[in-house]
Amino acid sequence: AVGGPATDRSFAITATDSGDIVLAWVSALDQSLYAGRLTGSSWSVAQVDSFGQQGSPALAPGIDGHDAELVFLRGSAIEHTSLTGTTWSAPMQIASGALSFVGLARMKW
């Protein structure tokens, strides 16, 4: 369930190359990871993962035709998913170990 700004936590934000805003957060109600995309004045929101998050997600503008990249902790693993339009790809494990946070960046010259 999606809570609200007064109860949700661990926010991450980025902008797409087209100027849309993408926000990811952990719901205080069910500890699930959600992400929303603001296009104009309309939000589209999806549950990205329901495992129960430990830590903050990280967002960056997309690469290779994607609109945004999202990484997050799932247990002791780092998971990655990409946003294209309003659809998130299935999360994929990219690393594991004794991890407590994730970070993500995209640099352009």
Domain membership of residue 62 (yes or no) is: yes
Q: Sign of the CA dihedral 40, 88, 58, 34?
A: positive
Q: What is the pLDDT of residue 97?
A: 82
Domain membership of residue 29 (yes or no) is: yes
Strand, helix or coil for residue 109: coil
Q: Contact at 8 Å (CB) between 52 and 73?
A: no
Domain membership of residue 106 (yes or no) is: no
Domain extent at residue 82:
9-96
Count of structural domains within the chain: 1
Domain membership of residue 101 (yes or no) is: no
Q: What is the pLDDT of residue 21?
A: 97
Query: What is the value of pTM for the model shown?
Result: 0.85
Domain membership of residue 70 (yes or no) is: yes
CATH code assigned at 22:
2.40.128
Domain membership of residue 92 (yes or no) is: yes
Domain membership of residue 25 (yes or no) is: yes
Q: What is the pLDDT of residue 51?
A: 82
Domain membership of residue 108 (yes or no) is: no
Q: Average pLDDT of each block of 10 consecutive residues along the chain (109 residues)?
A: 65 94 90 92 90 83 95 89 95 85 73
At 102, list the tokens: 């994730």
